Each structure stands twice: as C-alpha cells, then as structure tokens.
Amino acid sequence: MIPRFRIAVLPGDGIGPEVMAPALALLHRAAERVGLALATEEHQAGAACWRETGEALPKATMQACRTADAILLAAMGDPAIRYPDGTEIAPQLDLRFELGLYAGIRPVRVIPGVKTPLADPRASGIDLVILRESTEGLFWSRGRGEVRNDAEARDTLVITRATTARLADFAFRLARARRDRGGKNLVTCVDKANVFTSFAFFRRVFDERAAAHPDVRAAHHYVDAMALDLVRRPWAFDVIVTENMFGDILSDLGAALMGGMGYAPSADVGDAHAVFQPCHGSAPDIAGRGVANPTAMILSGAMLLEWLGERHSEPRAVRAGSLLRRAVDAAFAGGRLVTPEHGGTAGTRTVAEAIGAALAALDPGEAARP
Ligand code: ATP
C-alpha cells in the first residue's frame, strides 16, 4: 500500500502564501516521482487571521497541527498588525511552545552557484547546522516580561537540565549522522558561560552529555567569538548548539552566509511533532510583487520529507527530499539563476519553474545514493 502522509499547511501572511504555493506543488511532484502520496490541507493562522477572527492560531488549526504527520509553515506576522502591548503576532512561536519543539535546526549550506558574501574560496564549502533551542532561554520570557513603574524592565532567561540534555543529545546524534555523510564529527556548544550562571549551567549539562557520546568531538565557543568566526572561518564548524536567543541571531548571520533570507530553510523538531518553515519572516516590504525567493520554503519542504522518511522508516520519503534538494542545486548550478537579492531578475515563478524543470530531469533512483 502507498503510504499517505498528512501534512498541515499554514501559508500565513505577506510573502508566505506566495512561496508556499510553488513549494507545495514541487513537494507533491517530488513525492509522486518516488511513488509516495501526500495529503496536504491548508489552515488559517497569522496576523491577518487574528485581525479577521480575533485568534492568531485558531483551535481548529492547532488541532489539525497536533494530528498531522508534519506541519509546513511559510511565514507569519505583520509589523502593521500588533497586539495591544505592541508585540507582533507570532503564532509560529506558540506552536513551538505548545508542541514542545525544542530543537531548531538551521542548516547553513551554500548552494553551488549562489553568491555568498565571503570572498574566500573556502566559503563555497560552508556546510554547518545551527541547533537553536526553541522553547526556553530568553524566549521563555515571551508574554512574561514586566515594566516596573515605567522605570525598569525585566525579562528572565530560563535554562533547564531536561531540555539542555535533550538538545545536546540531539546535537551529538546529528553530528554522527552527518559524519556518515562526510561531516566533521564536531559539536560546538555556544554560550556566555564566562559571565552568566545560566550559561555556565548550560555548558555543564552539555559537557555531561558530551561524555556520553565519546565518539563525537565536543568543543566550546563564546557567542561573541562565534559571531566573529562565523564570518572569519565558517567552514571549520559542523553542528553548533546554542540557547534560543543566541540561535535566533546567529541563524540570521548564517542565512546571510548562504546568500540571504530567501535561501535559508529550517525545522523545529520535538519528540512527537515537527514544523518546517523558511527562516525568513513575512517580508511585507516585498509582498505582492512576485519577487520573493521560494528556495528557503522549498528546501524546508525537502527537510520535511526527509524527517518523515527517517521517522517512519520510509526510504521513499527520504529519497523525495533528497531529490528536491538536488533539483534546487541543479537549478542554481553555474550561477545561471540569479534572484533579485543578488541583482538578478529571477522572481518567485522563474525560480520555481527552474527547480521544477530540474526535478523532471533528475533520475529519482540516483537520489538514494548519498
Ligand atoms: P521575522 O521577525 O518575522 O522573522 P524579519 O524582521 O527577520 O521577520 P523578514 O521578513 O525575514 O524580516 O525580512 C528580512 C529581509 O529579508 C527583508 O528585507 C525581506 O525583504 C528579505 N526577505 C525575507 N524573505 C525573503 C525572500 N523569501 N526572498 C527575498 N527576500 C526576502
């Protein structure tokens, strides 16, 4: 029987629906090529939804996310639509907390043919993953911060042993899996353990877990030095594991290394659920113009297929994900597709069509090889 995975689809706001439509079409085509069926169903959530219904993440959408095999999300929020306290509507953060998606996976890989801002020839070999804790850290304070007498404001950063240990174990397993595909077998813990008790604790728990994974190399970096080295020698890193806020900042730096927000995919993974979405936001500055780069969204779809395949021991899903990624690489190879971020004219449709053509030309059997 053909397995049929159910995917909850949340197109969201701004450029979200613009990049979701071509990504979904390509996801179905990649799945079809390996004999897999996907049942995708769209649901409402986001800033426009809040304005229309009073709910940013309606109960029906949350329920659909809970029961789906995976969740594909584009982008949510609109700086022009805010909660009364001035904060932006970000139901993607609620999903992370509600579903316990503690491992934020932010791959930083330069697609051959896409311009990276670094002139060093080694930059084409950048291939690392930032693992951002996604349910606590400084983001624990979201909705809990306080302003006292209009004279002082406080937010609290929380690090727990349970989440840090789970995240560290996740990082070591990820490095091991990457090692089998030629990775550097290295996990770097990024913190500010020289100043804060919370980060000294983060590091201590990381070190305890490192001892349980002696076959993988473990290293430490302070976050400020990491920012420096991500520009100076990013090719030296493999898996970087860090707190929520540090990961938020470093992953945008990583997106810049890849050529911009339009190229950076991501996944937020827990023990039972996972959300796949591009790193970028709803980009209201370019919405409605047909220029949004759909690559990050498409690569997030490839991550979804691979995750489903590994979780359900379904090699065809892994193959479909790898096929989609290879189609992206083939479309950009030789620098023939230049997006507006880099001064080119390849808008949403052109990029999606080029990836579609590359997908049609690929041999799906070959995708099985690493
Ligand atoms: P959020 O806080 O919701 O993550 P943000 O403030 O980080 O959002 P983005 O919406 O990601 O902002 O946009 C940052 C910049 O990147 C903007 O100039 C935007 O136009 C650009 N950008 C974002 N996504 C894309 C894309 N897919 N293609 C091209 N440019 C993009």
- How much distance in Å is there from the Cα of 111 to the middle of ligand 1? 19
pLDDT in tens, 169-219: 999 999 999 998 899 999 999 999 999 999 999 999 999 999 999 999 999
**Domain final residue pick, 233, 258, 283:** 258
DSSP letters of 252-293?
A: HHHHHHHTSGGG---EEE-SS-EEE--SS---TTTTTTT---
Q: How much distance in Å is there from the Cα of 79 to the middle of ligand 1?
A: 12
Ligand 1: nearest atom to the Cα of 19: 27
- Residues 269, 71: Cα–Cα separation, whole Å: 10
Q: How far apart are CA 120 and CA 332, in angstroms?
A: 20
Q: Which of 258, 285, 309 is the last residue of a domain?
A: 258
Select from 94, 280, 341 the residue to mutate for testing ligand 1; criterion: most ligand atoms less than 8 Å from CB. Answer: 280
With a CB cutoff of 8 Å and minimum separation 6, the contacts of 53 are 44
Q: Using an 8 Å Cβ cutoff, are 241 and 225 in contact?
A: no
CATH number reported for the structural domain that contains residue 131 in this entry: 3.40.718.10
Q: What is the pLDDT of residue 366?
A: 64
Q: Are residues 77 and 161 in the same domain?
A: no
Q: Whose CA is nearest to atom 13 of ligand 1?
A: 283
Q: Is residue 293 lining ligand 1, measured as CB closer than 6 Å?
A: yes
| Residue in 18, 12, 9, 16 with CA at minimum distance from that of residue 347 | 18
φ/ψ of residue 351, rounded to 5: -65, -45
CB-ligand 1 contact for 13 (6 Å cutoff): no
Residues 6 or more apart in contact with residue 64 via CB below 8 angstroms: 8, 41, 43
Domain closes at, from 239, 258, 277: 258
Q: Are residues 345 and 323 in the same domain?
A: yes
CA of 173 to the centre of ligand 1 (A): 31
Instruction: Output the CA 257–ligand 1 centroid distance in Å.
Output: 15
Residue 41 lies in a domain: yes
Residues 91 and 140 in one domain: no
Does 141 map to a domain? yes
Assess whether the C-beta atom of 348 lies below 6 angstroms from ligand 1: no
Q: Is the pLDDT of residue 367 over 60?
A: no
Are 256 and 296 in contact, with CB atoms under 8 Å apart? no
Q: Tens of pLDDT along 315-365? A: 999 999 999 999 999 999 999 999 999 999 999 999 999 999 999 999 877
Establish if 263 belongs to a structural domain: no
CA of 52 to the centre of ligand 1 (A): 24
**Structural domain of 323:** 1-100+268-370
Domain assignment of residue 194, yes or no: yes
